[in-house]
Amino acid sequence: MIEVVGVAAEGVVSLPPESRAVLDDAEVVLGGPRHLAMLEERPGRELIPWPSPLKANLAAALAMVAGRRVAVLASGDPLLSGVGATLVELLGPDAVTIRPAVSSVALARAEMRWSAEDSDVVTLVGRRYDSLRRHLSPRARLITLTSGDDAPARVCEVLTEEGYGASRVTVLGDLGTPKQSRIEGIADDWDEGAAPRLHLMCIECLPDPGSVSRSTAPGLDDAAFDHDGQLTKRILRAAALAHLAPQPGDVMWDLGAGAGSIGIEFARQHPRNRVHAVERDPERAARIRANADRLGAPGLEVVVGSSADATGVLPAPDAVFIGGGASGAVIRSAWSVLRPGGRMVVHAVTVETEMTLLAAHRLHGGTVSRISVEDLEPIGSFTGWKPSRTVTQWAATKPRPHPEPEVGSEVGSEVGSEVDGS
């Protein structure tokens, strides 16, 4: 059992007796140099700094102290973008005890007078700053976890690029200590120099006049995507995402991704969604990467290759969209590894692919729809309707297996009675 002790910025003097006892009893204390400096050297207790890089070397570091009483010293709430979550992921919840202190987020909310219900936490620690983009909306209040003394300037650059340069930004440093500081400013006019080493940012999102904010509702404007014509258009995209039904933590495959619009919108629905966009054309794959970064989904993985090859190596999906290269073999392969309760949507624009979808419908059920969209466009000095190519859509949900009734159960007895006529 590893005991993870959260400590506030003022140090171990703030710890309750139970947490102090854990550190006093430990044979080994692991932590960052700043945390270990809070403890005095004494016989029978070894202070070991974390290896670098941490994740790659963590298992080996823990193996070296196996069998000894091990404590970990961490900041605030160790499960808030902290080492506690990493240890639980590596060792399992039964091998780790968490003793949290007051988190920096709680201290920031108190300083700003923001309720938990009216504000959101965004972590940029160890993440691409582009991920902030999907969280921006008018009137949003964001408590943003960052690292590096240039973090506020970088965040303000993103805010300005996204049309939120008018946002009010507050940098809170060394929260909960006598050195606590507060720096305030406007994003597009930020010039406050280096931030304190320990800080976070509070952002009141205010859109610039005339800017257009992006919603996370399915169906972004087609102009939001750079593409070469291989793009699932807005209305069809919204229809597909309605059937794909994104849920937090879902794994999604976007096969034959083109511009990546379906996968990117799926990823934007929730930060924990993991999307794998498969595209055989390297130029289109690069375009997907750029679209994902610009639209706040930098975690999307772009796989350069064929859909047929990718289905054998990607993690099992909760949702699959096939927009290009839909063959019977690809559909069968993807359906076979689709998790129970998972959703599949396939689009077809040719008669040959349409026949493949009808065969899949006969085998797996679901719905088949033909979707035709017409847009009003100028015809000389008049206007008229211009039809787009009709798309056939097959959508199906993989059934969840029913548990087998126990032998001798009431259900089993009723079935047996019907069979033997009693």
Per-residue model confidence as pLDDT tens digits over 240-258: 999 999 999 999 999 999 9
Has residue 419 been placed in a domain?
A: no
Verify that 193 and 227 share a domain, yes or no: no
Has residue 209 been placed in a domain?
A: no
Verify that 238 and 363 share a domain, yes or no: yes
Q: What is the mean pLDDT of the chain?
A: 92
**Phi/psi at 143 (nearest 5 deg)?**
-95, 110
**Phi/psi at 275 (nearest 5 deg)?**
-120, 135
pLDDT of residue 46: 93
Verify that 302 and 381 share a domain, yes or no: yes
Indicate whether 280 pLDDT > 90.
Answer: yes
pLDDT of residue 218: 93
Cα dihedral 258, 259, 260, 262 sign: negative
Has residue 7 been placed in a domain?
A: yes
Verify that 229 and 354 share a domain, yes or no: yes
Q: Return the bridge partners of 304, or none.
A: 279
Has residue 211 been placed in a domain?
A: no
Has residue 314 been placed in a domain?
A: yes
CATH code where residue 119 lies? 3.30.950.10
pLDDT tens column, 96-131 = 999 999 999 999 999 999 999 999 999 998 889 999
Domain count, the chain: 3
Has residue 62 been placed in a domain?
A: yes
Range of the domain at 134: 105-204
Q: Domain ends where: 76, 102, 128?
A: 102
pLDDT of residue 42: 87
Residues 6+ apart with CB under 8 A from 238: 218, 219
Separation of alpha carbons 58 and 6, rounded Å: 19
pLDDT tens column, 47-82 = 999 998 888 899 999 999 999 999 999 999 999 988
Separation of alpha carbons 198 and 201, rounded Å: 11
Closest among 287, 298, 286, 234 to 262, alpha carbons compared: 234
Verify that 111 and 94 share a domain, yes or no: no
Verify that 381 and 283 share a domain, yes or no: yes
Indicate whether 261 pLDDT > 90.
Answer: yes
pTM summary value: 0.86
pLDDT of residue 406: 62
Verify that 179 and 136 share a domain, yes or no: yes
pLDDT of residue 404: 67
pLDDT tens column, 178-198 = 899 999 999 999 998 889 988
Verify that 237 and 167 share a domain, yes or no: no
pLDDT tens column, 357-368 = 999 999 999 999
Verify that 113 and 76 share a domain, yes or no: no
Indicate whether 413 pLDDT > 60.
Answer: no
CATH code where residue 233 lies? 3.40.50.150
